[in-house]
């Protein structure tokens, strides 16, 4: 990899500079809104929803949230990872002596469950460089096929980060390829953070143009005093998914000094919420073994992202959600926004909808005016077969869900009327 000590400093200006460097290679992905999901986020959960949770018996929070979705599922290769890959590879190629030392012929190597794999494969093909990608044998088949389709050589490994890294070392010894890590490098962090810069600009423009439609459409506009007047500014906060932490830390850097709070979202299944647990303990968790459906978030937070998230305290808090909540959020995005998203992409939405600790922060700090909340939809690489299996339900479950939809609609109407 490029010498991390020679990388630009981890600052907001460096993220802006990274964007200038890679914008010719990436899509300027859209920011979308959805009135149904904004209404749901601004509706108190029912007491029945809180049963069997740590908030059972408590009064549900009443936050006012306006949702803004940064759609990186529409990015090249279907995920934000292409930003970091192009930035890291571009900087590696600019390293003195790289070309003369045969770097172009030896190529690059990485390990990834799928999205960074595809991203680096595309970046390497674009630059005319061989790419060797170490992928867990349990990776989504469609992601393996796509990675090969970009011209990379795929080598399989075990599913843990330790197993992946061991195979990467073997490839480096055999080929002399240079490592482009999936998240634990300053150049990767700065590249991923470019989505945060774009999102801030986009939301500010959309609010100024009145494109959010909050006053005209939202069921809650005007409920508080002041007739539902909108503030003339941008985002109050962003929630980003966290696996290795490259994108979360990059997003936090993009917001440094802006007043925008940054939060991280993780699955809690089998200890996948390592960043949350690490912050609580004051020490980074270095090993994670989990088979959460959010397969892009199965890795532990890297050392460089940790310095931004923990040491510099640029991430305000971490929240975790259940597998069922992830599936509910995924279903809502597909049915209400008509977008294909992978499970990892919706953990932030699941936090906004279901995590009462986060919702109480919004209620307390946002008050009657509420928050404009950015959600990073990190990717859309999920196969039809995986989705079918994930949402396979019995007729009895279908009838139960239909009954619950009817009850939820009744409770929503009562809350709005009240």
Query: What's 177's domain CATH number?
Result: 3.40.50.1100
pTM for the predicted model, two decimal places: 0.88
Counted residue by residue, the chain has a size of 418
Whole-number pLDDT of residue 102:
87
CA separation (Å) from 148 to 106, 134, 142, 153, 178?
A: 18, 11, 10, 6, 19
pLDDT: is 291 or 251 the higher one? 251
* Whole-number CA gyration radius for the chain: 21
Residue 343 has pLDDT above 60, yes or no: yes
Chain center to CA of 173? 33
**What is the domain extent for residue 135?**
81-185
pLDDT by residue (tens digit) across 121-177?
999 999 999 999 999 888 878 889 999 999 999 999 987 768 888 999 999 999 999
Q: Which of 157, 185, 213 is the last residue in one of the domains?
A: 185
Whole-number pLDDT of residue 210:
86
Whole-number pLDDT of residue 399:
67
What tokens does 278 get? Answer: 């690490």
Dist CA 140 CA 137 (whole Å) = 9
User: Which sequence positions are flagged as catalytic?
Assistant: 81, 113
Pair (100, 229) in one structural domain: no
Q: For the chain, what is the mean pLDDT?
A: 90
Q: Is the dihedral of CA 221, 223, 229, 232 positive or negative?
A: negative
Residue 219 has pLDDT above 50, yes or no: no
Residue 115 has pLDDT above 80, yes or no: yes
Residue 321 has pLDDT above 80, yes or no: yes
Q: What are phi and psi of 135, to 5 degrees?
A: -125, 140
Whole-number pLDDT of residue 411:
61
What tokens does 227 get? Answer: 């007739």
Whether 147 contacts 117, CB under 8 Å: yes
Pair (136, 169) in one structural domain: yes
Pair (44, 88) in one structural domain: no
Confidence of residue 220 (pLDDT cuts 50, 70, 90): very low
Matching residue, tokens 């019995």: 394
Mean pLDDT for 74-98 is 95
Pair (323, 397) in one structural domain: yes
Mean pLDDT for 16-21 is 98
Pair (202, 316) in one structural domain: yes
Whole-number pLDDT of residue 389:
87
Q: Which of 185, 202, 220 is the last residue in one of the domains?
A: 185
Strongest mean pLDDT among 134-138, 258-262, 402-406: 258-262
> How much helix, strand and coil, in percent to the nearest 5, is found in the chain?
50, 10, 35
Pair (49, 38) in one structural domain: yes
Whole-number pLDDT of residue 404:
65
Structurally, the chain folds into a number of domains equal to 2
Residue 340 has pLDDT above 70, yes or no: yes
Q: Which of 161, 185, 209 is the last residue in one of the domains?
A: 185
Mean pLDDT for 202-208 is 96
Mean pLDDT for 386-405 is 71
């Amino acid at each position: 990899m490029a010498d991390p000590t020679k990388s630009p400093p981890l600052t907001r200006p460096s993220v802006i500079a990274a964007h200038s460097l890679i914008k010719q290679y990436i899509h300027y992905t859209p920011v979308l809104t959805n009135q149904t999901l904004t209404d749901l986020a601004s509706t108190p959960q029912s007491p029945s929803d809180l049963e069997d949770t740590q908030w059972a018996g408590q009064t549900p929070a009443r936050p006012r949230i306006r949702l803004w979705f940064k759609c990186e599922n529409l990015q090249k290769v279907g995920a934000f990872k292409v930003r970091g890959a192009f930035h890291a590879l571009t900087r590696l190629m600019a390293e003195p002596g790289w070309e003369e030392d045969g770097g172009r012929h030896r190529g690059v190597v990485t390990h990834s469950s799928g999205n960074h794999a595809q991203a680096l494969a595309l970046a390497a093909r674009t630059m005319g460089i061989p790419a060797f990608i170490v992928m867990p044998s349990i990776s989504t088949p469609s992601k393996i096929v796509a990675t090969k389709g970009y011209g990379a050589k795929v080598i399989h490994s075990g599913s843990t980060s330790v197993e992946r890294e061991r195979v990467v070392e073997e490839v480096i010894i055999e080929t002399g390829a240079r490592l482009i890590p999936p998240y634990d490098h300053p150049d990767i962090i700065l590249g991923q953070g470019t989505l945060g810069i774009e999102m801030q600009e986009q939301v500010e423009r959309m609010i100024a143009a009145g494109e959010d439609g909050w006053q005209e459409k939202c069921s809650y506009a005007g409920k508080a005093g002041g007739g539902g007047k909108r503030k003339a500014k941008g985002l109050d906060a962003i929630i980003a998914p966290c696996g290795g932490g490259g994108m979360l830390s990059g997003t936090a850097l993009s917001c440094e000094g802006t007043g925008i709070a940054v939060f991280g979202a993780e699955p809690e299944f089998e200890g996948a919420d390592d960043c949350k647990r690490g912050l609580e303990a004051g020490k980074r968790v270095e090993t994670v073994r989990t088979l959460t459906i959010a397969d892009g978030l199965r890795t532990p937070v890297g050392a460089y992202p940790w310095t931004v998230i923990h040491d510099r305290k640029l991430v305000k808090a971490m929240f975790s959600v259940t597998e069922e909540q992830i599936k509910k959020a995924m279903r809502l995005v597909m049915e209400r926004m008509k977008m294909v998203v992978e499970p990892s992409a919706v953990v932030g939405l699941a936090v906004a909808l279901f995590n009462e600790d986060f919702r109480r922060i919004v209620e307390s700090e946002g008050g009657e005016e509420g928050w404009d909340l950015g959600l990073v939809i990190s990717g859309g690489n999920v196969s039809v077969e995986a989705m079918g299996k994930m949402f396979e339900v019995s007729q009895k479950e279908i009838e139960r869900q239909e009954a619950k939809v009817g009850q939820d609609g009744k409770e929503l109407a009562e809350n709005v009327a009240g």
